[in-house]
């Protein structure tokens, strides 16, 4: 069998995930996966403290460590030998992650948050670090400055497309780091110069908008970007987690809460995500939250379920980039049949007479060829992977596809495609055969969105069309209703039975920053801004990739109010404050989760402020800094010595007056007010004065 060739022992093979076993087999057969170098990034878990010694023994490059899980680059030809070591518990990797490709404030109700409506102050993400792991960054875009373009907000950048000859920046296992404003702006953009995905997503989460209305959600947050290398097999789950850890570590070192937006997905392969999930648990915690995209796999059918008692069920498989892959789960023996089909110029469907049947108990040891289609079936326990590789075919105007179906009335079989493929149902009318119309749109949330410990976001249709810079109307086929889930947004349940997504946010035609170094913005190009003599584009894109940074921006607003929020607490807030847009659906459900995220309701929940407190301002003072001093004093620092008396009132967040004091000015600029008793909670401070810029409120944590 393909995946077990060359393994040192059966025991060693059991320690390796499905993808690692395939890599070993491909190496033994002299094959090299596109995008994989001589070393492959993996998660490794060891029994004891011998991890670093074993990594060194096998010539590995250690990247980082999260608890008991190491992330390292391991020579492909030494994976099997290392797995045979007694102290190795498990080795995993996932390769080939893919990007998961204004009106936002009105949908997520963030405007009253910015205005401080019925709140003791405004919330904008100030003091929070918003991180992103993505690709295609234009670091000079004015949206990454403050609103008037005078203050740069990107605190760090790591580029996997580094230039080896570059003199600035520090080279690390994750790429070259640029940690000063001058170095980042000198770098200007990530090495994948034609990309735009990361620029757009970061702008949605936290762009200032500069001179436009296209302001991001947490528009005063600090920013940290890490680029990931694109290409077949290049994005690997271990290095992606290491990149997330780099951002969280920076936030911790600078005493900031942090949320990361992540819009990249991997295929679900049973057993390949155990260490991935453990590592994601390890990097998150109080003030460290990860928000991920559900995926865009619901446009076409992606899932087939053949229950016991049904003899056969299947569908055609679309071939993209000369390959397609179908994953199969079954505890009982079954037959997998492969048939080629021609589509004529008149869209007539003709079944070819020849076919191949794979017996799940006796799989072939190598590739099987049928009419130019190279079929490989591999197995790990009750999990099977069917891979079809072929050259593009144009035979006298005929296109060829492959039909796959599971046979055997005693077997319950589930089949689903990878994130790169889709099923194509042929109904009875087309083929006079109902066996090939079994695919449905469900179970298409990928990894890591299917994991319990992340916040998974689906995409809502908040805008149905835009007018581009040429004045042409741009629409999206089949998107006909605002305020409902988009047609592409992936839905649950997960293949492990979890309800996903957790929440939804706007993800259709979201206008945000584009990459000025990209030669063409295409039909999505909306407008330009001029900054420091350069033209910068604004573009409209759609996807759960766009919904995810929107939700991450909301979490940043919440972290500003409570920097100790955990991922679990964030989900509790979402559960309590999101609202379903379709009334007759249960909560949660596998389309909307708990519903549309609500920035304002969530913030009120965190602060315990359900209504406005009479006499309390909805803004902070501009000429007065209010801070806690020890556990029993409020420190007041004026921009200049006050000339008028001022009154200080102290409240609990539910509006109860704790104390009131009027102070008369001296020549000093600093004053203090004693709390009625030492506090370890939250106190709302209201200051009133005829002094310009002094009247306002602030929330203090003691």
Q: Give tens-digit pLDDT for 488-534.
A: 999 999 999 999 999 999 999 899 999 999 877 777 899 999 999 99
Residue 547: pLDDT band (50, 70, 90) is very high
**pLDDT computed for residue 522 by the predictor:** 72
**pLDDT computed for residue 581 by the predictor:** 84
Per-residue pLDDT for 672 more than 60? yes
Mean pLDDT confidence for 614-643: 83
Tokens 């679990």 locate to 568
Residue 5: C-alpha distances to residues 298, 366, 382 (Å)? 36, 11, 19
Per-residue pLDDT for 133 more than 90? yes
Q: Give tens-digit pLDDT for 536-546.
A: 999 999 999 99
**pLDDT computed for residue 323 by the predictor:** 72
Per-residue pLDDT for 368 more than 70? yes
Per DSSP, the three-state class of 476 is coil
Mean pLDDT confidence for 175-183: 95
> Of the ranges 133-142, 315-324, 516-525, 581-590, which one carries the lowest mean pLDDT score?
315-324
Per-residue pLDDT for 434 more than 90? no
Q: Give tens-digit pLDDT for 14-23.
A: 788 888 887 7
Please give the residue that has the higher pLDDT: either 424 or 137. Answer: 137
Per-residue pLDDT for 389 more than 90? no
Please give the residue that has the higher pLDDT: either 51 or 393. Answer: 51
**pLDDT computed for residue 112 by the predictor:** 58
What does the mean pLDDT of the chain come to? 84
> Of the ranges 274-288, 342-356, 419-433, which one carries the lowest mean pLDDT score?
342-356
Task: Record the pTM.
Answer: 0.80
Residue 388: pLDDT band (50, 70, 90) is confident
What percent of the chain lies above the pLDDT cut of 90?
Answer: 43
Please give the residue that has the higher pLDDT: either 216 or 163. Answer: 216
3-state percent helix, strand, coil for the chain, nearest multiple of 5 = 20, 35, 45
**Residue partners of 496: CB distance under 8 A and separation at least 6:** 450
Residue 102: C-alpha distances to residues 26, 145, 163 (Å)? 49, 18, 36
Per-residue pLDDT for 34 more than 60? no
Smallest Cα–Cα separation from 418: which of 490, 481, 330, 324?
324
**pLDDT computed for residue 16 by the predictor:** 84
| CA 390/CA 73 separation, integer angstroms | 31
Beginning with the edge strand found earlier in the chain, give each strand of the sheet holding 129-134 in spatial order: 170-172, 175-178, 154-159, 222-227, 129-134, 258-262, 288-293, 455-460, 503-506
Residue 477: pLDDT band (50, 70, 90) is confident
Residue 6: pLDDT band (50, 70, 90) is very low
Do residues 559 and 255 touch, judged by C-beta distance below 8 A?
A: no
Chain length of the chain = 702
Q: Which pair of tokens denotes residue 202?
A: 């970061």
What percent of the chain lies above the pLDDT cut of 70?
Answer: 84
455-460 and 503-506 as β-strands: parallel, antiparallel, unpaired?
A: parallel
């Amino acid at each position: 069998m393909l995946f077990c060739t060359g393994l040192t022992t059966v025991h060693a093979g059991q320690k390796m995930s499905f993808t690692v076993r395939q890599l070993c087999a491909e190496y033994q057969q002299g094959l090299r996966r596109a995008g994989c170098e001589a070393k492959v990034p993996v998660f490794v878990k060891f029994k004891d403290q011998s991890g670093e010694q074993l990594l060194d023994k096998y010539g590995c490059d250690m990247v980082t460590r999260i608890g008991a899980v190491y992330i390292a680059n391991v020579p492909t030809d030494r994976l099997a030998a290392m797995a045979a070591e007694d102290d190795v518990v498990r080795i995993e990797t996932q390769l080939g992650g893919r990007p998961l490709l204004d009106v936002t404030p009105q949908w997520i109700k963030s405007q009253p948050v910015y205005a401080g409506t019925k709140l003791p102050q405004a919330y904008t993400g100030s003091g929070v670090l918003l991180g992103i792991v993505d690709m295609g960054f234009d670091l000079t875009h004015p949206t990454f400055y403050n609103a008037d373009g005078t203050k740069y907000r990107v605190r760090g950048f790591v580029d996997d497309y580094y230039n080896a000859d570059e003199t600035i920046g520090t080279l690390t296992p994750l790429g070259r780091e640029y940690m000063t404003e001058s170095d980042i702006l000198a770098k200007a953009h990530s090495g994948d110069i034609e990309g735009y995905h990361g620029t757009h997503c970061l702008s949605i989460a936290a762009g200032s908008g500069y001179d436009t209305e296209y302001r991001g959600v947490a528009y005063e947050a600090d920013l940290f970007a890490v680029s990931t290398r694109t290409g077949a097999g290049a994005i690997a789950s271990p290095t992606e987690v290491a990149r997330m850890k780099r951002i969280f570590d920076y936030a911790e070192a600078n005493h900031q809460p942090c949320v990361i937006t992540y819009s990249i997905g991997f295929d679900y392969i049973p057993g390949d995500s155990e260490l991935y999930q453990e590592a994601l648990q390890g990097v998150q915690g109080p003030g460290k939250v990860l928000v991920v995209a559900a995926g865009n796999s619901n446009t076409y059918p992606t899932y087939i379920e053949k229950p016991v008692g049904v003899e056969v069920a299947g569908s055609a498989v679309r071939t993209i980039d000369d390959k397609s892959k179908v994953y199969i789960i079954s505890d009982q023996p079954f037959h997998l049949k492969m048939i080629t089909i021609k589509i004529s110029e008149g869209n007539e469907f003709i079944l070819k007479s020849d076919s191949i049947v794979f017996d799940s108990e006796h799989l072939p040891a190598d590739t099987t060829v049928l009419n130019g289609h190279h079929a490989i079936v591999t197995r790990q326990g009750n999990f099977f992977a069917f891979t079809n590789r072929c050259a593009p075919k144009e035979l006298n105007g005929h296109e060829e596809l492959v039909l796959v179906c599971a046979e055997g009335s005693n077997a319950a079989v589930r089949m689903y495609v990878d994130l790169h493929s889709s099923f194509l149902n042929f109904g009875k009318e087309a083929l006079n055969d109902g066996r090939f119309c079994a695919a449905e749109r469900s179970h298409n949330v990928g990894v890591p969105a299917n994991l319990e410990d992340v916040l998974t976001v689906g995409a809502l249709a908040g805008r149905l069309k835009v007018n581009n810079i040429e004045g042409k109307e741009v629409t999206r086929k089949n998107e006909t209703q605002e305020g409902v889930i988009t047609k592409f947004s992936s839905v649950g349940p997960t293949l492990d039975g979890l309800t996903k997504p957790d929440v939804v946010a706007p993800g259709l035609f979201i206008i945000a920053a584009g990459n000025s170094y990209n030669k063409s913005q295409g039909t999505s190009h909306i407008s330009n801004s001029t900054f420091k003599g350069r033209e910068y584009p604004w573009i409209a894109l759609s996807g759960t990739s766009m919904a995810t940074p929107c939700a991450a921006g909301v979490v940043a607003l919440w972290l500003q109010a409570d920097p100790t929020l955990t991922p679990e607490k964030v989900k509790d807030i979402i559960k309590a404050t999101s609202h379903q847009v379709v009334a007759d659906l249960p909560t949660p459900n596998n389309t909307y989760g708990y519903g549309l995220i609500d920035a304002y309701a969530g913030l009120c929940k965190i602060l315990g402020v359900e209504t406005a407190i009479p006499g309390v301002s909805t803004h902070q003072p501009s000429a007065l800094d209010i801070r806690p001093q020890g556990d029993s004093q409020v420190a007041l620092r004026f921009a200049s010595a006050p000339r008028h008396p001022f009154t200080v009132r102290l409240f609990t967040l539910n509006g109860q007056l704790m104390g009131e004091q009027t102070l008369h000015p001296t020549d000093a600029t600093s004053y203090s007010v004693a709390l009625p008793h030492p506090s370890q909670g939250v106190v709302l401070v209201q200051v009133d004065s005829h002094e310009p810029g002094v009247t306002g409120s602030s929330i203090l944590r003691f």
